Amino acid sequence: MHSADIIIIGGGAAGLMAAAGAAETMAKNGTDGKVIVLEKMPRPGRKIMITGKGRCNFTNVKSWNEFNGHIHPKPNFLKPSFYNLTSEKMVDYLQDHGMEAVIERGDRAFPTSHLASDVVDALVRAAEDAGAKIHCGKEVRDISRQARNDDDCHPEQSEGSFTIECADGARYTCRKLIICTGGLSYPKTGSTGDGYEWAKEFGHSIRPLFPSLTAIVPKGYKHDSTDSEMKGHINRNVQLSEIGESLCGNQLKNVGISLIVDGNEAQNEFGDLDFTDGGIEGPIGFKVSRKCVNAIINGSKVSVVLDLKPAVDIEDLTVRINTLWNEVSKDKRSANKLYKDRFRILLTKVLPMSLIPAFQKLNPNADHKTLAKVLKNWKMEITGFVGYERCVVTAGGVSLEEVTPKTLESRLIPGLYFAGEVLDLDADTGGYNLQTAFSTGYLAGISAAK
């Protein structure tokens, strides 16, 4: 039987920061305490390692007034955690533990090396240097709680001890327990939703879970293979259709996307968009995916409208296209060409070559007279989305109403804390999710140690 003052389940972003925060606070207060992290995988930080395709955009250095607009569903819950460890402080913190950072476009912070492993190494170093111990290969199977034997306290309202049993037979006890098990996204990294089940066993409510920051799939993009277990889920590995093949690989810069739910515009974004083997991704594809996925799961009819020329209004674009069409038509090389061939020449002047085949297949009635309208209103029905196998983050989680934002302690079970993705907190792409994990983990660790 191993005994500790504080045990953290999960050695990801939130768990490692919780360990560092707890151990640092104990040392600062002169408390001779013990902090242990239980991580089921052979090494900690597995999900961090794949963040940003291995480059790891670990935070965003915007101020709170800008940062909070990227947090869902209740940004004010995060405010105490954020001010305790701001994104700028996080950059300095990692630098103090041997990792240099660089700030790039959009206030996104990366390790100077652009290696996610450097972020993990710095986090592990911070936790271990503070005195925390990381036990890997410890898959937690069961958690039980023994309330303190006070005659004047109800068991649910008194402090006690937690007993943790692992799959390999190891047992641990602690006074304070911090659950940092992440969500359901990328289960191969160890995120399999265990924390939600333990939270429910302790009486907590779990807000509906669904994939976010994921590929959304247009109608006809893949061969029909929806998952009956989750409405709209189309596995990433499902084969692309002919249309999907022709769209896949196209990267569009500075375009607009509008999300339409049941006939009404629900969201509008501007930026870069990618067509991938999953569907529509890229920064603005990810931004609309949260509302899109939630709407599909709830049975709404969903579509997106792409504006390929957002910097030009439709009147000016019409004039420009008419001018280009006249130039094509008067060109001697076009004299004996069919209309469809001349129209294709026109398309090469307003679209990337690689996009033209798919654009024509999906807009078969477009001609030089209607082209401006189609370029600014390319509508695609969305019928599905990629699920937890490749989504970036899990939306939903432990109800925020049942957790104290200033400490991250459970309102139901004294001595129990939650941090990171297991909470009903998620964010847009751009470093916001990792900072949320760092900030909540650090505050939970400090609070538990106090």
2-209+395-449 topology per CATH: FAD/NAD(P)-binding domain (3.50.50)
Q: Is the pLDDT of residue 287 over 70?
A: yes
Other CB atoms within a 10 A radius of the CB of residue 332 amount to: 6
Task: Give pLDDT tens digits for 172-222.
Answer: 999 999 999 999 999 989 999 999 999 999 999 999 999 999 999 999 999
Task: Give pLDDT tens digits for 43-81.
Answer: 999 999 999 888 999 999 999 999 999 999 999 999 999
With a pLDDT cut of 70, the percent of the chain lying above it is 96
Phi-psi label, residue 93: left if phi above 0, alpha if psi -120 to 50, beta otherwise:
alpha
The string of DSSP codes covering 183-247 is -SSSGGGT--SHHHHHHHHTT--EEEEEEES--EEETTSB-S-EETTSTTEE-TTSPB-HHHHHH
Tokens representing residue 108 in the block: 């996104």
Q: What is the mean pLDDT of residues 219-248?
A: 88
Task: Give pLDDT tens digits for 90-131.
Answer: 999 999 999 999 999 999 999 999 999 999 999 999 999 999
By the 8 A CB rule, do 124 and 105 touch? no
Q: How far, in Å, CA of 188 to CA of 369, rounded?
A: 51
- Quote the pLDDT of residue 335: 83
Lowest mean per-residue pLDDT among 137-151, 172-186, 416-430: 137-151
By the 8 A CB rule, do 40 and 190 touch? yes
Where along the chain do its domains lie?
2-209+395-449, 214-391
